[in-house]
Structure 1
């Protein structure tokens, strides 16, 4: 009986093998498939090759630690979202550091640590909630709210009708709200 080579296995097969035996080799193969995509994505956001390469390594570690927490159906879409969120967090952190460094000497800096913790928690919950949406809703919500595209641009890019785009965004927004409410109740 001929078994498929590791490179012939689908993303879903590799995920299933990892979940079955815990061998990180399966995630490594998956990660290798998308490493160039992730590097390009990180470069797009971070504009610095060294930072982008560091981020890809951090994303790999995050994937290893978080993959069991999620029911990943489409690995490519999931890892893309993880990388995008990571890059945005890096940019946000960089801007915060830049703002602190640019303060005039002698000005009082009041840091509301609990506010940062709350925002970080909200972002983590939002990331998890986005992963729970169906593919159409997730894609339309991301394009509309995060990429700031119009309904027409989303319809052109996805092939969905304008009515479908509006529906996916409306339902996705409602589902995100419900999921975030559920997460906030569970954290109390």
Structure 2
């Protein structure tokens, strides 16, 4: 398909057509639109052109396999998140320390003075902090932030009310942030 012929069709419409018609060419047009974005994201994290190119291909495969599992309101944002998470997983698998991007939707931290932006959080530290949460908070935070489940999906799968889910996520996010700050401070004091 000639991509220029479809510039007038927005992302959501292309995604809708793909999901309804099961015609992979619609998804192909959509992914082609964001190839450069994906490559840029992968370069940002991996800092290696060959690895970034491989990662883009792996993200494409992941999208093809998983796009039907999610309710996607903004394809570009969702795709960015998939790419970022894929790169962070690659880095974690290499047992490197990964810098945590401090954004509003990151469960680990929001911008404040207590967690420096350059602070590196190891996967082990994150796991320890998650393990220290209550079962309900841990499960809700993992499902919401890592598995991208909606409040409704968490409520249905875990048997919590929507208010409980909201509370577990908010409190879990806050507690996770405090635990990580405490663990980092403790590690800093022990090491120096």
Q: TM-score, normalised by structure 1?
A: 0.54
Could you list the per-position Cα deviations for residues 97-135 of structure 1 after superposition, in whole angstroms to 9, with x for gaps in the alignment?
xxxxxxxxxxxxxxxxxxxxxxxxxxxxxxxxxxxxxxx
Could you list the per-position Cα deviations for residues 144-184 of structure 1 after superposition, in whole angstroms to 9, with x for gaps in the alignment?
736x6339xxxxxxxxxxxxxxxxxxxxx999539467698
Compared CA separation, residues 185 and 74, structure 1 to 2 (3 A): same
Structure 1 distance, partners of 2:93, 2:140, is 25
State the partner residue of 2:39: 39
State the partner residue of 1:123: none
Q: Cα distance, 1:141 vs. partner? A: 2.5
Structure 1 unaligned blocks of 5 or more: 97-138, 152-172
Could you list the per-position Cα deviations for residues 39-84 of structure 1 after superposition, in whole angstroms to 9, with x for gaps in the alignment?
0110011010000000000000000010110011100000000000
Q: Which runs of 4+ in 1 moved over 2 A?
A: 148-151, 173-186
Q: Cα distance, 1:6 vs. partner? A: 1.6
2:104 equivalent to 1:140: yes
* Secondary structure in 1 matching 2:34: helix
2:54 equivalent to 1:54: yes
State the partner residue of 1:149: 111
- Give the 5 Å matches for 1:164-183: 176-177=140-141, 179=143
Point out the structure with the larger helix share.
1
State the partner residue of 1:130: none
- Give the 5 Å matches for 1:33-182: 33-95=33-95, 140-142=104-106, 145=108, 149-150=111-112, 176-177=140-141, 179=143
Q: TM-score, normalised by structure 2?
A: 0.53
Structure 2 unaligned blocks of 5 or more: 97-102, 114-136, 145-153, 160-192
